[in-house]
Each structure stands twice: as C-alpha cells, then as structure tokens.
Structure 1
Amino acid sequence: MLVQKELQKINMYKAPRDKLACILNCCKVINNLLLNASIVSNENPPGADEFLPVLIYITIKANPPQLHSNLLYIQRYRRQSRLVSEAQYFFTNILSAESFIWNIDAESLSMDERDFQKKMDLAREHLLGLTASSENQDNQTNFDLREQKTQANRNSDVNLSSKDNLQGLVLDMRKGSDVIDKPVERVPSISDLEKKGAAELLKEDDLNKKIQEYPFFLPVLVI
C-alpha cells in the first residue's frame, strides 16, 4: 500500500525535515481516505477518534525500521518553529500511535487477558517460523552453491588427471616408437673374431674395447 511505503521510507533520509515529510505524507493519505469514505457514506468528516486507530493499524502493518529512534531524532533536531499547525498535529498523532503500540496490552484492546496472551503467542510463533524458514532457505542456498563449487572442482581435477594420463601415454608411445625404429646394433661373436684373424684385429683402433669386451680372448690375440 502507498500509505505503508511512505512510512517505511522514514529511515532512508538523514535530514529531520525529510523524515517528518514521510510521516506527513502517510498521515495525509490516511486523512484523505477517511474523508472520501465519509463523503461516500454521507457521514460527518472524520476526527481524531477515527484517524488515530487507522494510523496505529498502518504503523503496525508498515513496521518502519527504527521508528522510535527516528521520532526522537525529529524531536531533537527539527526546528521547533517548523513543528506547528498541520505538521505538529500529525507528528503528535504518530507519537501517540508509537506509544500505544509500545505499551499495548489486553486492557488497552478491551480483550480478555488469556485471549490476548494466546494471540500474542501465536503471533510470536508465526514470526519465529518465518525467521526460521528464511534462515533454512538461506542455508540451503549456501549449501547448494558449495556443492556446485565442489562438484566443479572435482570435474576439473578429473579432467586434468585424464589429460595428464593421456599426455603420459602419448609420450610413452613416442618413446616406444623411437626404440622400435632404432636399429639394433649387432655384437660380434667369438667365432666372428676368430674368422677375422688376430692380425687384422691388432690393426683396428678399437682394440682396447675388444679386449675389455672379450677378456678371455686375450691369449688368442697374444699368440
């Protein structure tokens, strides 16, 4: 409702004049609605007896943030010469509404004490249920976000591991291919050396290598 939104904006402003303007706009809307209703029903114009209960109801429904602090702020810092006439009347009514809500009890509502306590308990349970539901929803949302992040990290690790394994496999295949393509060097046997002859072997540059590879063939070379 427009009348509730006007009152809820009181905490958005810093200047006491702007805060007071929110209260005046709310009260003017209520006063105009009551006046139009009286004209339609052909009744007398509304007075304080009709205006204050509606203002109390609107204040409860709007539940403006830090209402008490904002009202004290206006009282202390709004120039008193400006709190006159219509502004003073509506501001006094909002102070009365705030005081009534603050000190509300069964007697002020002309209710039985047990019925009043029962309804108050139900209202508290309803508010606590709404708060718990909101907290559970926030916790579930945070849990889902954490799960999605964890799953994304797991998928990333799996992809990296698969990529590393694939790269390792390719490297192994390349190494294996290099080994297969490289020709195997044939090592000469004792028979080959005997056929070649000692004289020719003595002429070769790698004689020392031959002696190291075939130590037991040394006597044959010496003879």
Structure 2
Amino acid sequence: MEAAMRDHPLWTTASEEDIDCAMEGLEKYIMIKLFSRTFSATPEDAKIDYEISEKISLLQTFLKPEHLDIPPIHQIEASLLLAEKELLKINAFKAPHEKLLSILNCCRVINNVLLNVAMSEHVPAGADDFLPMLIYVTIKASPLGNKTFCWANPPKLHSNLKFIKLFRRQAKLVSEAEYYYTNLVSATSFIVDLNAKSLSMDEIKFEESMQAAKLINKVTNESSSTCQMSQQQNNECSCSEKMPHKPDATGVFQVLQHGSNYPYMEAKSKGLTVGDVDVLLSDYKDLVSKYTIMCKAISCLSTSEREPLLRQIEKQSAGTLLSQHAGINTATHQHN
C-alpha cells in the first residue's frame, strides 16, 4: 500500500514525513473500523486470554520482587507503578500504533530506572535486569481501586500482542519497538509456564500460595458477580435471594482459616526482637487481606441476608478460634 501511494501522481511531491503521517493515519482509520472483526477474533484467542489473565490474577496475590531476583535498588515503587499504568493503557486503544506505544512507554520507564540506578550506584545496567522487572510489572499491573479485590490485570494480553504483530506496519516494528515488543512476548510466555522452579521460592510455599490465591479469588469473584447482577436490576448493591453465586459462610470461613494463627496476639512489645519484624509484617498483610475479602463479600448483602451468614460464620469459627487462642497462649509463653 505504501508503494502504491508513492507511485500515485498526487503523492509524487510529498516528503517522507508526509507519506509516513498519511500511512499512520490510514492504518489507524482502517483498523479502528475493522477492530471488532480483527481483535480477539477466534475462540482460541479468547481462551488463551482467559488462561493468562487467570494465571496473573493468582500470582498477583503473593508475588514479590525478590521472587524474581529483582534487587532492592531496582524496587522503586513510584516508577514501577508508572510502568504498570502505561501498560494498562494498551486495551484503551484500537490502533496497533497506539497499543505498541503503550508497551514502549512501559518499557522505557523500566529502562530509565535501570539507567538511573546504574549511574547513581556506579554499576552496569545489564539486559538481564530488564526482563525480570517487565515480568513483575506485567503481573502486578492492575487498575486503580481494584488491586485488593478482583486483582484485574492487563486484559486480553495475548490478543493485544497478536493484533500488533499482525496489523502494525512491519517497517515500524523494528529497532526499539521490536526489542520491547519481543521482551513483552517473552514475559508473557514466562508467566504462562511459570512454576515454583521459575522463582526464587520454596516449592511447597509456592503451591500453598497458589491454592490460597484460588480460594481468595473464588470468594471475591462470587461477591463481585453478585453485586454486579444486583446493580443491573436495582442500581444499588443489594443482592437478591434468587441470585446465584452468593458468598457463603463456607467460602468465607475457608479464607479465615488460611494463613497465620497470629502467635503474637498477646505478646508484649518489650519481648519482641528485630527477628520478629518479618513475621509481624506477614501477619499484618494476612489480616488486611482477610478483612478486605470479608468486607467485599458481605457488603453486597442485604441486612436480612447478612445476619444469618454472620451467625453461621461465627458458629463455624468458634471451635477454631478457641484452638487458635490456646496455641497463642502456648506460643507466647514459649516466646517469653
């Protein structure tokens, strides 16, 4: 098409910049018009998108930079959040050029972090540092306001990458653009195949974290689905008794059972040591996670539905709480 444009009499006097701008505009116009027919066009694409999104949503709940061997000097939260924000823009556009630009902006932020750290710390910035950070950003990318609930992530990641590969002008998918695009493809492949051996993480701990993440996502997704159905009918978050997938006491109770028994519940500050900080922080995060899930699961129930659920949870939890309390007393005496 570009060759035909160059040969046309109307474009014989056009500059390279004019032709390039015209081709960009033409690509954008055509692909926006054909977007619904060309983006995620097959059931196979939708299936792969779902599997990747599901895998990322599980990893989001527990993955930390150290699991990918990202050194502390590269863990600059503000920059990582900016990179995540840029990547999330990919699904807001319909033109291949704009989708690719989202990837470029994300990767440039990461690259700037590496360059700045290299200059300030007088250490070389290696290509081996870039991919782990891109993998981490891809997994952690989540729309603001949803991180603690549905762990949403870059939607239709496979379809976006495929769309860019098929419909972005090949003359533009070179150099920096090709390098960053290829890295995101590699990051996506790594995530798909990721297991305990892929991370600096104990295999048993990895499996436990994945199972806990599945349980947490099940409870939150049920709650989200219930509220969304209710909002469509009543324009408010009150779930009907006839609606399926209600958050039940068993599911919420399983979430409460998972995790720490809080051995420091009755400990005194004078008896704590520096070595206790990691455990305390882990317990704090576990408690906040459970509190958030409970709030989300219960907040969309009406009063008549909420009270029986709470009574059932209280009844199921009573025995466990008593045994945990006994364990806390034992641990406290041993600690002291």
What is the TM-score with the length of structure 1 in the denominator?
0.59
How far apart are the structure 2 equivalents of 1:23 and 1:143?
Answer: 39
Q: For 1:142, which of 238, 263, 280 is the aligned residue?
A: 238
Could you tell me how far apart the structure 2 residues matched to 1:50 and 1:94 are?
14
Aligned equivalent of 2:118 = 38
Which has more radius of gyration? 1
**How far apart are residue 137 of structure 1 and its match?**
4.9
1:60 aligns with 2:139: yes
Which residue matches 1:3? 83
The amino acid that maps onto 2:119 is: I
Residue 172 of structure 2 corresponds to residue 92 of structure 1: no
CA positional deviation for 1:107: 1.7
Distance 2:219 2:158 in 1: 26
d(CA) in 2 for partners of 1:76, 1:7: 19
Which among 146, 152, 163 is matched to residue 73 of structure 1? Answer: 163
Aligned to 2:129: 50
Is 1:108–2:198 an aligned residue pair? yes
Q: Secondary structure at the match of 1:43?
A: coil
CA contact (8 A) 2:131 2:187 kept: yes
**What letter is aligned with 2:103?**
I
Partner deviation per Cα, 1:106-148 (whole Å, 9 max, x = no partner): 222254432221111112222223223434555582359xx9x
* 1:8-46 Cα distance to aligned partner (Å, 9 max, x none): 1101111111100000000001110121122222211x2
User: Can you give the 5+ residue segments of structure 1 that lack an aligned partner in the other structure?
Assistant: 148-223
CA distance in 1, matches of 2:198, 2:119: 30
Indicate whether 1:125 and 2:215 are aligned: yes
In structure 2, C-alpha distance between the alignment counterparts of 1:75 and 1:60, rounded to whole Å: 21
Taking a change above 3 Å as real, the CA distance of residues 143 and 126 of structure 1, as seen in their structure-2 partners, is closer
| Code of the aligned partner of 1:50 | D
Unaligned runs of 5+ in 2: 1-80, 142-152, 231-235, 241-301, 303-336
Report sequence identity in percent.
51
Which structure has greater helix proportion? 1
Structure 1 stretch displaced more, 132-141 or 52-61: 132-141
Higher RCO (CA < 8 A, seq sep 6+): 2
Correspondence for 2:333: none
Tell me the alpha carbon deviations over residues 50-90 of structure 1, each in whole angstroms, 9 at most, x when there is no partner: 00000000000112110110000111111212111111110
Task: Tell me whether 1:20 sits opposite 2:100 in the alignment.
Answer: yes
**Contact 2:227 2:239 survives alignment (8 Å):** no
Structure 1 residues 126, 40: closer, same or farther in 2, change over 3 A? farther
In structure 2, what residue type is equivalent to 1:129? Answer: V
AA aligned opposite 1:85: S
Q: Distance in 1 between matches of 2:239 and 2:214?
A: 28
TM-score when normalising by structure 2: 0.40
Q: CA RMSD in A?
A: 2.3
In the alignment, the residues of structure 2 paired with residue 116 and residue 143 of structure 1 have an alpha-carbon distance, to the nearest angstrom, of 35
Aligned partner of residue 173 in structure 2, secondary structure: coil
Letter in structure 2 aligned against 1:126:
I
